[in-house]
């Protein structure tokens, strides 16, 4: 029995010298996200997302758009809700979608604009297209960073970046707000006054992506 396997051309890498061409081509993307956070509860909501993704000369734009939309929402869940935790015995308790929170239809922003950037692949792929699978998963970093910027806007007197951890759950957001409140209290007033005098904050964040395939 003879088997045939596809070998991606032009790919080579020397781990010792850190030289070579490890990827066949690159896929590009950009996203702008607008979020609102509640500084009292840590809750947040994605109000709008504008996404542009490079699919090369798309073979089926409808399928590729669906891939980008799904990858964006999946990545948003990865960065904001899908928290891993272990019990005292070291057993992973969040092992499936039934044990951690994945994004739902209600988490999709009311304004969700996704477009494909028509850019023929420089490499001779099928119809000069580009793979549209995992790359869009990274674009929702714009959501995570918009949340971080919104937290920062709640403490304008503090120049330090909010210590927001991922996933940005309400608990993580409150922890970051608390850390800024402590810093802000050193400059003006008590930490409690910070959260009381700041209403929910809306921030837009741009995210650019370069992904290798």
- Residues serving a catalytic function are 134
Please report the beta strands in the chain, taking only residues with DSSP state E, as ranges in sequence order: 12-14, 19-21, 26-37, 44-56, 111-118, 201-212
d(CA 213, CA 211): 7
What are the tokens at 32?
Answer: 């702008």
Concatenating the DSSP letter of every residue in 127-140 gives GGB---SSGGGGTT
- The tokens of 202 are what? 């809306």
- The pair of structure tokens assigned to 107 is 């988490």
28 with 213: CB under 8 angstroms? no
Tokens of 39: 């500084």
Name the residue with tokens 């073979």. 59
């Amino acid at each position: 029995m003879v088997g045939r396997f596809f070998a991606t051309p032009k790919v080579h890498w020397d781990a010792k010298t850190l030289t070579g061409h490890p990827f066949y081509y690159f896929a590009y993307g950009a996203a702008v996200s607008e979020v609102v956070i509640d500084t009292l509860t840590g809750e947040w909501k994605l109000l709008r997302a504008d996404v542009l993704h490079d699919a090369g000369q798309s073979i089926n734009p409808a399928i590729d758009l669906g891939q980008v939309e799904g990858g964006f929402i999946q990545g948003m869940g990865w960065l904001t809700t899908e928290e891993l935790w272990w019990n005292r015995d070291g057993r992973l308790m969040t092992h499936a979608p039934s044990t951690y929170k994945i994004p739902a239809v209600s988490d999709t922003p009311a304004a969700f604009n996704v477009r494909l950037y028509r850019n023929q692949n420089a490499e001779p792929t099928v119809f000069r297209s580009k793979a549209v699978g995992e790359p869009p998963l990274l674009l929702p970093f714009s959501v995570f960073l918009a949340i971080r910027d919104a937290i920062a806007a709640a403490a304008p007197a503090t120049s330090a970046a909010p210590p927001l951890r991922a996933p940005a759950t309400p608990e993580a957001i409150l922890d970051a707000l608390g850390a800024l409140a402590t810093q802000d209290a050193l400059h003006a007033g008590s930490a409690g006054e910070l959260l009381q005098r700041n209403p929910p904050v809306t921030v837009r964040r741009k995210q650019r992506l370069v992904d290798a395939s």
